Amino acid sequence: MITTNPTKLDVDVIVNAVEINDRHGVGVLLQRIFKDRSRIFAIRALNLYGGDCTFGKYDHLLGEIGLSRIEIFSRIQKVLDRHTVNRVLCIPYHAEEIFVALAVHEIFGAKICTYLMDDQNVITTSIPDELMTELLAKSALTLAISPEMRDVYMAKYRTPVHFAPPVIPAILVADSTPITIPAVQREPTGAIFGNIWSPQWLNLLRTMTRETGKKIDWYGNTGADWNFRDREQLGDDGILERGFLSTEAEVVSVLRKYAYVVVPSGTLDRRDDNLAVSWLSLPSRIPFVLATANTPIIVLGNPNTAAAKFVKRLGIGIVADYDPISFHSAVAQITQTLVQQQMRKNAAQIAPHFVNEQMDEWIWQSLELGKPIDDRFEALLTEPSDYATSFTTCLDLIRQQQVEIERLKLKSNPVAVQIDYIKQNSHRWPKLRHLWHRFKGKIS
């Protein structure tokens, strides 16, 4: 351990996958949390936004994925040679971020706070179990972006994990008086704010709006390569591109004009191409909408996604399938005056929990204590968590997808080949075992 040297500069290290800026959710959240960046040293693995990173007093780019732990340790020793570090915040997405955090911990004895914002280990397996085990064991504090992320990691690693949702600038948060209900048109239009992170979710959304004839205004990343090839065709489907709004204050002003906001989420079945996000991630737009505009929310997809469970738990929205009848029913329900009043009242009451005032100090003081200094976030969760059930359900989803992948691989093969494959692999997953028992009588 290196002792403090008065000639060295004391910094807090924040290690993240890419540039910290306002072009992605993690970057926006970190900027909201850390308003005073005068002693922050930001370290990242990659550039995905042209090097656009003005966050912190200092920053360093590793520049590639695949560096060994020894290489990163040596690099960090040199980069931080003129500094002392007492604390490090790690947002793990690749192994490299973990190597950096562990190097800082080993060189300086710095305390680690791990903030799980994206799953890269349980459903998505980019980070090996052994490395995640070491990181969590050496972390003095572990936070998770959603209750589901918290439950699954706590169950898998048998270590305390605490809920810490996205926070919102205090200046944007509505006061305790619910925002006035906007005039609802005969055919009310909803709005989507932000990115849609799955091409499959967008396809399901387009089919639904096309079949219902309902219009949805979309403010955000409609220009992603996979979103659509023909902007006019997207409009024909009922999704109207409104582009980016230049400031958060403008977003809030526009938000308050809508009767409801639509949040596409996953289906948690064989169609879902972003299972980790669906099951475990809480979209930051949900706390933003509830805290700044009190606007009721319709989450599309499975009722067990993190997004769906969050709005149901807090009484600020409802859930609908990507199904015309289900969506029609959801819109009819959420635009009722009494429903609007109650959901907006619920949102206004809980909005103060999401204010970013002194959130940086909340993290650092909790890190020093080894647990949250108060229950401002846990108080939002009224029902007790069943960690084991959450983890088991999560594993079930993984197995279901694996079985479906295997089924699709076999689909074009002769029946005899399919049966032989099922026989050889029936021990691996319960559903294959069930298929094997069904086919046993057909084998001579």
| pLDDT (0 to 100) of residue 437 | 43
13-22, 282-291, 430-439, range with greatest mean pLDDT: 282-291
pLDDT of res. 408: 52
Place of tokens 């079985």: 403
More confident residue, 333 or 247: 333
In this prediction, residue 161 has a pLDDT band, given cuts at 50, 70 and 90, of: very high
CA distance readout (Å), 223 to 219, 227, 300: 11, 7, 21
pLDDT band at 429 (very low <50, low <70, confident <90, very high): very low
Residues 101-129, mean pLDDT to the nearest whole number: 95
φ, ψ for residue 12, nearest 5 deg: -105, 130
Band of pLDDT at residue 191, cut at 50, 70 and 90:
very high
**Taking 80 as the threshold, does the pLDDT of residue 262 lie above it?**
yes
Distances (CA, A) of 413 to 197, 407, 408, 424: 33, 10, 10, 15
- In this predicted structure, the answer to whether residue 418 has a pLDDT above a threshold of 90 is no
130 sits in which H/E element: helix 129-138
Q: Any idea which of 145-149, 230-234, 247-251, 397-401 has the lowest mean pLDDT?
A: 397-401
Q: State residue 394's pLDDT score.
A: 60
- Across the chain, mean pLDDT equals 84
Q: Which domains does the chain have, with CATH numbers?
A: 9-167+356-385 (3.40.50.2000), 171-354 (3.40.50.2000), 388-435 (no CATH)
Percentage of the chain beyond pLDDT 90 is 57
Please compute the mean of the pLDDT values over residues 99-113 and round it to a whole number: 97
pLDDT at 427 over 70: no
Between the CA of residue 373 and those of 32, 207, 208, what are the distances in Å? Answer: 20, 47, 45
Q: What does the pLDDT read at residue 84?
A: 95
Residues 378 and 162: beta-carbon distance below 8 Å:
yes
Q: What is the pLDDT of residues 70-81, one digit of tens each?
A: 999 999 999 999
Q: Check residue 386 and give its pLDDT.
A: 57
Averaged pLDDT, 145-163: 94
Q: 283-293 pLDDT, tens per residue?
A: 999 999 999 99
Closest CA to 217 of 196, 250, 195, 243: 243
